[in-house]
Amino acid sequence: MTFGRRTFLATGGLAGLFLALPRAIAGALGYPRALQGPMLGAPGPNHLTVWVRASGAFEVALEIATDREFRHLVQTASGVASSAEDLCVTLRAEGLQPDTQYWYRLRYDGHEDRFQFVPHRARTAPAGAAAFRIAFGSCCRIQYDPDQRIWNTVRALEPDMFLWLGDNIYADSDQSSAITDLYARGRVVPSLEPLLRSVPQLATWDDHDFGYNDSDGLSPYKAESLELFKRFWANPSYGERDNPGVYCKQHYGGVDFFILDGRYHRDPTDRPDDAGKTMLGARQKAWLKRELKASAAPFKVLAIGGGWSSAENEEGGDSWAVFMAERNEIFDFIRDEAIGGVVCISGDSHMGELNCIPRSAQGGYDIYDFCSSPLAQLPAAKHTRQAPEVRVRDVWTRSVNVGLMRFDLTAETPTLTYTLHDDLGEAVWDPLVLTPDDLVNGARTWDSKSDPVELQRLERFRRGGGYYGFDPPEGWPDAPYTDAE
């Protein structure tokens, strides 16, 4: 077939006509949809937050209803996806009722997503003291485990919120395209998608999603990493107006959660561990002290990537164990200001841990550190060369795992119950149960709440022996059997 001059002019004119069409008509072309998401973000009694990454630069609308058929539409919100934000949009619908189930759906340039016709369910946060569950974990490496069966367990545990405690992706890159690709791949894991769509997700980061392994505040790429983090998560806030970072505070069901940033302002780990060395930076630390002092919650949860105990005080360690001066400064502040109810959660270690920092002998109270790691990564056995202040339970290295905190603030005595679960859902230890009375100055609990075998190991270690030396059980023969016997 040949084209004459008139044909060429005609087709050229048609092309020009299409370019001149209104955006509303041109937008009808193709299949506007979600590339990743939706994902629920920061919760509240009167709002729902929804994150999504769209397939193009167009308007994304959120619709909230009280029924799955959307006969009773109650709220809407909208925003525009842009290439400058990697097409990520976070929408917030206000004016909702506390502790109420809603249905939500998204429209893309006015269209339903042809691949997500079924609406999604969400629940607003309670307005006051409640009984609820918070799951958490760290170290999720899609290169190691693309299936991530652990999310089936997490969904079965029915948490009301999930906290990501760092190494949420293993980008280990200074290229924004590589970091974006890992975030995107992580959002389409089939076992994870139902959890993202139904349970609010909050996050901090650690070295592998902040930058490279053991990276710190000297990283020249940290500002760009922060912008990417903010695009792909939907936290309630990010740092302060004049102090960047990912730290924030979330209130839920009567409990305050302080999600800390241990990377953006961190000093190099090889600096001397004195009063001048910081993991949080002066401004974040001042924010934490101020917010802790103002909190009236019976439980206050400090969440960060690296462990709070002294366990990783070794070459190559980058947890609080090599920032002990600042850690103790924070714990001294908690004691001196009589701030009760503080517990800690952490990740990174590739082991499930339940440790305690005894502070009762110094006039404070014993502070517990619940560590869940990994979600999708190879477990490690670093505990054989490490010794925290107190191991409350034996370490868990046999499988991936997830931590669960169950709060009941409706009872006469509020409780926090902590368990760790393997990828089949089994609790790997006896629960640890704490009340506000356990977390006030002068309360000594570490020995009464620790497993007896861990107390025996600790005593042997304090006498100069190996922590994991062999303890013969009662009735064990004096000498091993030989072939002659």
Q: Does any domain span residue 68? A: yes
Say if residue 174 is in the same domain as residue 114: no
* In a shared domain, residues 241 and 379: yes
Token pair 């650690």: residue = 206
Same domain, 95 and 145: no
* pLDDT at site 20: 43
Q: Are residues 96 and 241 in the same domain?
A: no
pLDDT at 395: 97
The count of other CB atoms within 10 Å of the CB of residue 430 is 11
Q: What is the pLDDT along the chain (485 residues), one digit of tens a residue?
A: 333 433 333 444 444 444 444 444 445 458 999 999 999 999 999 999 999 999 999 999 999 999 999 999 999 999 999 999 999 999 999 999 999 999 999 999 999 999 999 999 999 999 999 999 999 999 999 999 999 999 999 999 999 999 999 999 999 999 999 999 999 999 999 999 999 999 999 999 999 999 999 999 999 999 999 999 999 999 999 999 999 999 999 999 999 999 999 999 999 999 999 999 999 999 999 999 999 999 999 999 999 999 999 999 888 889 999 999 999 999 999 999 999 999 999 999 999 999 999 999 999 999 999 999 999 999 999 898 898 999 999 999 999 999 999 999 999 999 999 999 999 999 999 999 999 999 999 999 999 999 999 999 999 999 998 899 876 667 766 544 334 33
155, two tokens: 């969904």
Is position 200 within any domain? yes
pLDDT on residue 384? 87
If asked whether residues 118 and 141 sit together in one domain, one would say no
In one letter, which amino acid is 155?
A: R
- The domain boundary, picked from 91, 122, 153, lies at 122
Last residue of a domain, one of 101, 122, 143: 122
The CATH number of residue 312's host domain is 3.60.21.70
d(CA 215, CA 224): 14
Give me the CATH number covering residue 49: 2.60.40.380
Whether residues 112 and 134 share a domain: the answer is: no
- 3-class SS of residue 267: coil
User: Is the residue at 16 inside a domain?
Assistant: no
105/178 same-domain check: no
Shared-domain flag, residues 87 and 219: no
Is residue 280 one of the residues assigned to a domain?
Answer: yes
Structure tokens belonging to residue 382 = 């670093």
Secondary structure percentages of the chain, helix, strand, coil, to 5: 25, 25, 50
Q: Can you tell me the distance from the alpha carbon of 298 to that of 437, in angstroms, rounded to the nearest whole number?
A: 9
Token reading at 55 = 């397939």
Instruction: Give the domain-ending residue among 62, 97, 122.
Output: 122
| Residue 483 counted as domain residue | no
Is there a domain that residue 26 lies in?
A: no
- Please indicate, yes or no, whether residues 53 and 192 belong to a single structural domain of this protein: no
CA distance 350 to 396: 9
Number of H helices, E strands in the chain: 11, 21
Is residue 177 domain-shared with residue 317, that is, in the same domain?
yes
Q: How far apart are CA 85 and CA 89, in angstroms?
A: 8
Whether residue 82 is found in the same domain as residue 192? no
What is the per-residue pLDDT for 313? 87
- When the pLDDT of each residue in the chain is averaged and rounded to a whole number, the result is 92
Which residues are within 8 A (CB) of 65 and not within 5 positions of it... i.e. 6 or more apart? 71, 72, 73, 74, 102, 103, 104, 119
- pLDDT the model gives residue 29: 58
Domain count, the chain: 2
CB 357 within 8 A of CB 367: yes
Domain range for 297 is: 128-462
Residue 314: the pLDDT is 85
Any idea what DSSP says for residue 241?
T
Please report whether residue 399 resides in a domain. yes
pLDDT at position 19 is 43
Please tell me the predicted confidence (pLDDT) of residue 471: 65
Q: Flag whether 355 is in a domain.
A: yes
Residues 340 and 409 both lie in one domain: yes
